[in-house]
Amino acid sequence: MNARRIAQLWRTLAAATRRIAGVPDYDAYVAHLMSRHPERAIPPRAAFVADRLQARYRAGGGRCC
């Protein structure tokens, strides 16, 4: 396996691990916005993460029992 293939495999595994853990993927979101919604402004990373965390926890989650 060459170095380029190993690096790509590592990036793929890291992205999959982030998705499983629920960590939002800002780079994928920016790529999506640029290709599908070029008229929209790209939010700063901090605003994106805050929005994703709010969306994750406002949907009735957080019950203790």
User: Given pLDDT bands bounded at 50, 70 and 90, which one contains residue 56?
Assistant: confident
Kindly indicate the confidence band of residue 43, based on its pLDDT and cuts at 50, 70 and 90. Answer: very high
Please give the average per-residue pLDDT across 23-34, as a whole number: 89
CB atoms within 10 A of CB 44: 10
Separation CA 65–CA 21 (nearest Å): 22
Label residue 36 by pLDDT band (50, 70, 90): very high
Task: Provide, rounded to the nearest whole percent, the portion of the chain with pLDDT above 70.
Answer: 89
Q: Which of 21, 30, 64 is nearest to 48 (CA)?
A: 30
| pTM, rounded to two decimals | 0.61
